[in-house]
Chains A and B, each alone.
Chain A
């Protein structure tokens, strides 16, 4: 049995920040990450981030991943286990990990779960055909491995991910036939939307996909207009010739470990689905188990980083570290979060979070 003071599960923006914050106050940390790289989904974000200096605005995601992970690799209090999967969190506080073909038991004093989110799917006929890919999958293939997803893409979803991935497709030389969204308005930032429109990509709001066409792989799609009640407009169907249908219809928290641990959960659509109840320090109903990032509710990477920092400081503080500084650092992180969620874009998040206090 291996012991540690704090176990961080997940090496994305939230987990990396959590590990760094806890170690900053003097706690011993093991960080477990499933992939063989650190940074989570940042490593495929080739665009520059918005926001403020504290969250690395104007840096590209791929660079933020390095900024966050490099200091951890050298930190004497932090042990990074990549290519390792957490299998379960048990009632006696033991966490099991699969690492290098071995089954390892860890007994941490505190746990920070930062497992992120997975992509949602949309129901429509033939949505299981090869050629229907998640937007993140398209980014992985294209921006990490340099392989093109196809020649002509229909993007479903005009939120930030749909629009940004469309732009990245254009950069890689792929034609984006259209971006459609069922909602009457574009969900993403208009700066991004204008950029793809200027490049000649139509954004059709009030449109949905009726079905994918093809036998073995996608060869086309039928889209249709929706009326004010989200019902298809008769005669509005049109066929598009595409070999990729990219779904950017949102993310849902990856909560499997929390369910298994018996954490109290609630269904909050504003935050992407089932999310854990938490108190102001991001501690769940499972004593000593904290959450941070998309697993706590789907938001931007900037919010994930600040939540990670907050959870890291709180967990370390609960072990008696940072007697002088913790209070101030925590207050500062809370202020950063408030600022991020402050504008009209944060309204949905604020509503969702209200329902999760414990």
Chain B
């Protein structure tokens, strides 16, 4: 869900680009955080905790808390709340602590 009109802020957006989330094609704006693009597409569960497999979303949205770690283009533990979306990115839910490429 995106804000179409706001009384104070005007949002400057990049180009609309395609990326994949767990293989499924989605769209988002280039340069916005990956987490924002996912959230706008209705995706809140970004991964699962390593031990108890609890669902994980973002919490702080400024790269402090490490709750939003995902696999991006094969690289695990990417903080998607601050990592910018680029065209063609492959974003995947992370299982456990992630495997280094």
User: Which residue numbers of A lie inside 8 Å of B, CB to CB?
Assistant: 34-35, 41, 46, 60, 62, 118-119, 121, 128-134, 136-138, 140-143, 145-151, 171-173, 216-217, 254
A133-B61, A216-B45, A217-B45 in contact; A147/B2 too (CB < 8 A)? Answer: yes
CB contacts between A and B, total, < 8 Å: 93
Cβ-defined contact, B57 with A129, below 8 A: yes
A118-B65, A136-B62, A216-B45 in contact; A147/B54 too (CB < 8 A)? Answer: no
Q: How far is the CB of B38 from chain A (nearest CB, A)?
A: 9
In the complex, what residues of B have CB within 8 A of residue A172's CB? 3, 6
A118-B60, A148-B1 in contact; A46/B8 too (CB < 8 A)? Answer: yes
- Tell yes or no: B9 within 8 A of A by CB: yes
Cβ-defined contact, A46 with B9, below 8 A: yes
CA distance A351 to B63 in the complex (A): 32
CA distance A216 to B53 in the complex (A): 11
Q: Which residue of B lies closest to A60 (CB)?
A: B8
Q: How far is the CB of A156 from chain B (nearest CB, A)?
A: 14
* Cβ 8 A contact of A130, one of B7, B57, B65: B57
CA distance A70 to B57 in the complex (A): 35
CA distance A246 to B20 in the complex (A): 29
Identify which of residues 13-42 in chain B touch chain A, using a CB-to-CB cut-off of 8 Å. 13, 32-33, 36, 39-40
Q: How far is the CB of B99 from chain A (nearest CB, A)?
A: 22
List 26 contacting pairs A-B, 8 Å CB cutoff, sorted by A: A46-B8, A62-B9, A118-B60, A118-B65, A128-B49, A128-B56, A130-B44, A130-B58, A132-B59, A134-B61, A137-B81, A140-B62, A140-B81, A142-B3, A143-B9, A146-B6, A146-B11, A146-B13, A147-B1, A150-B1, A171-B6, A171-B7, A172-B3, A173-B3, A216-B55, A217-B44
Cβ-defined contact, B2 with A137, below 8 A: no
CA distance A190 to B57 in the complex (A): 33
In the complex, what residues of A have CB within 8 A of residue B49's CB? 128
In the complex, what residues of B have CB within 8 A of residue A121's CB? 59
A130-B45, A130-B56 in contact; A146/B9 too (CB < 8 A)? Answer: yes
Main secondary structure of the interface of B (DSSP, over half): loop
Interface bin, chain B: 20 to 34
Q: How far is the CB of A249 from chain B (nearest CB, A)?
A: 13
Q: Which residue of A lies closest to B84 (CB)?
A: A36
- Tell yes or no: B46 within 8 A of A by CB: yes
A147-B2, A171-B7 in contact; A137/B59 too (CB < 8 A)? Answer: yes
CA distance A137 to B64 in the complex (A): 11
In the complex, what residues of B have CB within 8 A of residue A136's CB? 60-62
In the complex, what residues of B have CB within 8 A of residue A131's CB? 44, 57
Cβ-defined contact, B36 with A147, below 8 A: yes
Cβ-defined contact, A141 with B57, below 8 A: no
In the complex, what residues of A have CB within 8 A of residue B62's CB? 35, 41, 136-137, 140
CA distance A20 to B62 in the complex (A): 25
Closest 3 CB pairs of A and B: A130-B57, A137-B61, A146-B11
In the complex, what residues of A have CB within 8 A of residue B56's CB? 128, 130
In the complex, what residues of A have CB within 8 A of residue B2's CB? 146-148
CA distance A138 to B59 in the complex (A): 9
In the complex, what residues of B have CB within 8 A of residue A60's CB? 8
CA distance A141 to B7 in the complex (A): 16
